[in-house]
Each structure stands twice: as C-alpha cells, then as structure tokens.
Amino acid sequence: MIFGMSTACLFPKVYIEDAIGVIARMGVTHIEIFFSCLAEYKTDFVRELKKRADDHGVCVNSVHAFSLQFEPQLFSAHERARREALDTYTQVLEAAAMLGAGSYVFHGPANVKRSRKLALNFEYVAEKTQPLIELAKSHNVKLSWENVHWCWYCTPDFPKMLLEQLDDDSLWFTFDLKQAVQSGFAPADYLAGMHGHLSNVHICDVKYDNGAGYEPVLPFHGGVDFAEFRSALKKEGYDGAIMLEVYGSNYKDYRELLDNFKLVERFFGGAHLTADS
C-alpha cells in the first residue's frame, strides 16, 4: 500500500510548485498534484513541477484538475464547448504523463439543479466517457472517476450503471471518504460499487453540526468509523494509494499535519490505533 499527501492539503496558502518541497521535507515521498488554474497545465510549468519532484525524490501518483473549469463541458451537446474542454483535458493528461502520474482524478459534471432529482442517461454518459478513457490510456494514465456528493457520481450504483454501457472495463474510480459521508450513503456501499476498479483513496474525516452541517476535519477527529472503513477496504482487497486530502483550515501547523499523516499511515499500514493513540 502507498501512502501519500495531496497538495490540496496546503491550498490556498502554498502554490503547488512550493507545496512539493514542503511535503517532501515532512518525509512524505508520494503526492497527488491538485492543479488550481489553467496556467498550471502548461508544459513549461509542469516541467518545473517534475524537476522539483525529482530533486526532492517525490513520486507523483495522481493528478487532480480544477474540475469546474472544463470537465462538465466534456459532456456538453454543444460541440464547440466540448472540443474546447477536450483540449484542456488533453493538456492535463499530458501533464500527468510528464509527471509520471498513473491516475487522473476526475469529477465530471456537477449536479447543478439540486431541486430536481438527478436522472442520468447512462448511454449518453458512456458515449462521452469512452473517448476520455481511450485518450487517457494513450497517455498511460487511468481515468479515475471520483465520488463527489454534488456531482453526477453521488450514489454508490453509478459505477455499475456506467460500466454496463461502456465498451470495456477500463474506467477506474477514486474513493473519497468525506464525500461518501456527505452524500448520505455508507462508505462501504461506495467501495462495493467500485469493486475491482478502485485505483485511489482520499482520506479525510467529517463531523456533523446541526447548524453548520458537515465539516471536514483531520482523520480521527470526526465521526467516521475508521476501523469499519479499514475492514471494508480489506474486504475489497485494496492495496493501492491512500492519499491524505484535508483542508488547510483543518490543522494549525505542519507538525500537526505530519503527525496526522503518520497516524493514517500506521493505522492503515497494519498497526491498530484508535483516535486517542
């Protein structure tokens, strides 16, 4: 199993090119690059990211685009908008390939009209998804669709419904723990839905407040039953990447962030710990 940290943990305080060094100095050797703007997909910028990662001995396992900038338009019936989005998508794949990242974490379209029940035409979704999978494969990158409570993939049955319509089974999935909790479904149900296609895991905890709703917090600081979640991962036979992905407001300093990373690493790496360990 690979343990790493997303540069999103340092957003927006630290630019990603500097986040690589900050994370590396913590002793973390695997990262997920979370792009934040279109300029960060450009070749010269990505080349600098690659140099910094290599200089620090850091492996980039996955990349994550700023999805709302273009990913919804990849499914647009407006051909000009779709072609423009496809150009940006290709740039991200090229960045992933240059960085040696094996996975592209994908949100896809947002569920904007929340007042109406989401009803997807999975034949249409598959028609637009298949070329994205093929393009990713041509860059030696897995397209890894992430469960997100405010996007199309907001229920555990999404993978089954989509895979049934695709030409092959080359689509992969990223499991996000906080998003699963925020969706109102059990994390284990999402994992079961991804069976055999899970390529990446994002770890964060969540606590619930009647006034504020769901609030992301550091792992073992909220209401997630991590022992139960670990058992669900084991049941699925997962031994891939586990990425700590929390918010910059969730910790007071890098020491607290690193201590939490080590706790996650030890807990999922074999040693049984509790939140008070």
pLDDT along the chain (277 residues), means of 10: 97 97 98 97 98 98 96 97 98 98 97 81 98 98 97 97 96 98 95 96 94 91 96 94 97 98 92 39
| Res 113: pLDDT | 75
| Res 211: pLDDT | 78
144 Cβ neighbours under 8 A, 6+ residues apart: 62, 103, 104, 105, 106, 172, 173, 174, 199, 200
Q: 3-class DSSP state for residue 199? A: strand
Report the relative pairing of strands 30-34 and 59-64 from DSSP bridges.
parallel
| Res 212: pLDDT | 80
| Res 78: pLDDT | 96
Q: Is the pTM of this model over 0.75?
A: yes
Q: What's the token pair of residue 120?
A: 């997807």
Q: How many helices (H) and strands (E) does the chain have?
A: 9, 10
Give burial (CB, 10 Å; 0-12/13-18/19+) of 182.
buried
Distance CA 204, CA 276 (A): 17
H-type helices in the chain, by residue range?
A: 16-25, 43-55, 79-99, 122-138, 158-163, 177-183, 187-193, 226-235, 254-269
| Res 116: pLDDT | 73
| Res 276: pLDDT | 42
CATH 1.10.1760.20 at 2-204+224-249, yes or no = no
Amino acid (one-letter) located at 245:
E
Distance CA 95, CA 104 (A): 10
What is the four-CA torsion angle of 33, 34, 39, 45, rounded to 10 degrees? Answer: -10
| Res 127: pLDDT | 97
| Res 275: pLDDT | 39
| Res 115: pLDDT | 67
Asked whether the beta carbons of 73 and 48 are under 8 A apart, the reply is no
Q: Is the peptide bond before 12 cis (omega within 30 degrees of 0)?
A: yes
| Res 117: pLDDT | 81
| Res 101: pLDDT | 98
Distance CA 10, CA 14 (A): 6
